[in-house]
Amino acid sequence: MESCMIKPPFKKRTIAELVTEDYRKAEVFEDFGIDFCCGGKKSLEEVCEKKNINEDKLMEALRRMEKSSQKGLPYNEMELDILVDHIINVHHAYVGKNIPMIYNYATKVSKVHGEANPENIKIAELFMTVASELNHHMMKEEGMLFPYIKYLQKAEKKRTTVEQGQFGSIKNPINIMEHEHESAGKIFEEIKQLSNQYTPPAHACNTYRVLYAKLQEFEKDLHHHIHLENNILFPKALALEKKLMK
């Protein structure tokens, strides 16, 4: 059943809201260099003005996307435990699988091409930093935050009382997770700039080219991953805790 709440004009709505409604819009925003995860709380109009984006061209791209028949997964309609499992099985698994591979490529490219292209030394250092941060981040989510979210949902279904987590309100770990998301996003923005938007030079070897392609793929998955948490899972978990603690 659709909500009777009147939505604000399209241009006044936030990037996060638009992507939450239809994840296909994320690809359009990516193409225009618009951050829909950590920076998703800004309105479409505000982002276009700040980044000097042609609003008409962006709107036309969104209209073309809406006409396509392919639909994304209904993330906003998923129950919280299903969404948590999806994040773990798809995005956490992707990060765990790809970090060692990209680390090896980055190390090799920095050693072989670092003298002629010193940006690759910095790229390798930045990737090692973000890889370490993400590994610790996912451990905290899987060991503490996600189980508590599932606990809240189970309590709601069974109509049982709940006890606050050892961390106090769920708002506390969520604030930490969002801060860490922002940190990872900033590191990848620096990698993106250093790599010339993931464009290898003409003389690049195959490993060099694969490294940049994998870094771009990793950033795209990270944006999706962060969006699902910041803009769907976390707000719903906060609302559920508030409801149950009344």
Same domain, 101 and 58: no
Q: Is the dihedral of CA 233, 236, 239, 241 positive or negative?
A: negative
Task: Compute the distance between CA of residue 125 and CA of residue 122 in angstroms, rounded to an integer.
Answer: 5
Same domain, 16 and 82: no
Residue-wise pLDDT tens digits, 198-207? 999 999 999 9
Same domain, 42 and 59: yes
Task: Compute the distance between CA of residue 79 and CA of residue 77 in angstroms, rounded to an integer.
Answer: 7
- Strand, helix or coil for residue 41: coil
Phi, psi of 239 (to 5 degrees): -65, -40
Same domain, 93 and 205: yes
pLDDT category, 222, cuts 50, 70, 90? Answer: very high
At which of 49, 67, 85 does a domain end? 67
Same domain, 225 and 135: yes
Asked whether the predicted pLDDT for residue 126 surpasses 90, the reply is yes
Q: What is the pLDDT of residue 8?
A: 61
Same domain, 49 and 89: no
Residue-wise pLDDT tens digits, 33-81? 888 777 778 888 888 888 888 888 888 888 887 776 566 678 989 999 9
Same domain, 136 and 233: yes
Number of domains in the chain: 2
More confident residue, 29 or 174: 174
Q: What is the pLDDT of residue 44?
A: 86
pLDDT category, 1, cuts 50, 70, 90? Answer: very low
Same domain, 139 and 36: no
Asked whether the predicted pLDDT for residue 84 surpasses 50, the reply is yes
Asked whether the predicted pLDDT for residue 2 surpasses 80, the reply is no
**pLDDT averaged over the chain?**
89
Task: Compute the distance between CA of residue 15 and CA of residue 37 in angstroms, rounded to an integer.
Answer: 8
- Strand, helix or coil for residue 149: helix
Same domain, 99 and 55: no
Q: Report, as an integer, the average pLDDT of 168-181.
A: 95
Find the domain containing 17 and state its range. 10-67
The answer to whether 12 touches 48, Cβ cutoff 8 Å, is: no
At which of 27, 44, 67 does a domain end? 67
> Could you give the C-alpha distances from 55 to 37, 43, 62, 207, in angstroms and in order?
20, 12, 11, 38
Q: What is the pLDDT of residue 70?
A: 61
Q: What is the pLDDT of residue 152?
A: 95
Specify the DSSP class assigned to residue 8.
P
123 burial level (CB within 10 Å; 0-12, 13-18, 19+) = buried
In the chain, pLDDT over 90 holds for what percent of residues?
62
Give the tokens for residue 215.
Answer: 């870094």
Give the count of beta carbons closer than 10 Å to the beta carbon of residue 144: 13
